[in-house]
């Protein structure tokens, strides 16, 4: 069980690292001046590679988390809230993929300020999830 927990934590930390950085690339993409095609393409390449890298890591985080839950029978209200927050996080992840497609197609309509705020969402989700897992308030 400890090995499984260790891998789960590793995958979660890695997934969050990607979710913290990908929207930061979006901030930079939203700030690219018109006509700076090389800069835009370089940032799009970075974003695509990062998204492709963290997607399977996120899947492994979810799979190991479900394995822990179902194999060892953790329970309590805190776990249900955590699962709900992880579901929100999955939605955030796949929404990042949609935003990436919009950037690639030249359909971005949001400012760099919007992406700066959007970039903070996983921080609050991580804080809430860690508190739920460690404190188990209910």
- pLDDT the model gives residue 72: 81
d(CA 5, CA 111) in angstroms, rounded, equals: 39
pLDDT in tens, 80-135: 999 999 999 999 999 999 999 999 999 999 999 999 999 999 999 999 999 999 99
Number of domains in the chain: 1
How large is the average pLDDT for residues 16-31? 98
Range(s) of the domain holding residue 43? 2-135
pLDDT in tens, 36-63: 999 999 999 999 999 999 999 999 999 9
Helix (H), strand (E), coil (C) string for 59-74: HHHHHHHHHHHHHHCC
């Amino acid at each position: 069980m400890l090995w499984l927990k260790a891998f789960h934590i590793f995958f979660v930390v890695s997934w969050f690292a990607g979710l913290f950085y990908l929207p930061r690339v979006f901030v930079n993409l939203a700030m690219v001046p018109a006509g700076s095609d090389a800069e835009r393409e370089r940032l799009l390449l970075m974003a695509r590679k990062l998204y492709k890298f963290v997607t399977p890591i996120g899947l492994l985080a979810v799979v190991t988390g479900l394995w822990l839950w179902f194999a060892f029978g953790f329970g309590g209200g805190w776990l249900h809230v955590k699962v709900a927050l992880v579901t929100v996080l999955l939605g955030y992840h796949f929404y990042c993929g949609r935003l990436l497609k919009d950037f690639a197609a030249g359909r971005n309509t949001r400012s760099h300020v919007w992406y700066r705020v959007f970039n903070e969402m996983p921080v609050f989700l991580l804080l809430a999830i860690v508190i739920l897992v460690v404190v188990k308030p209910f």
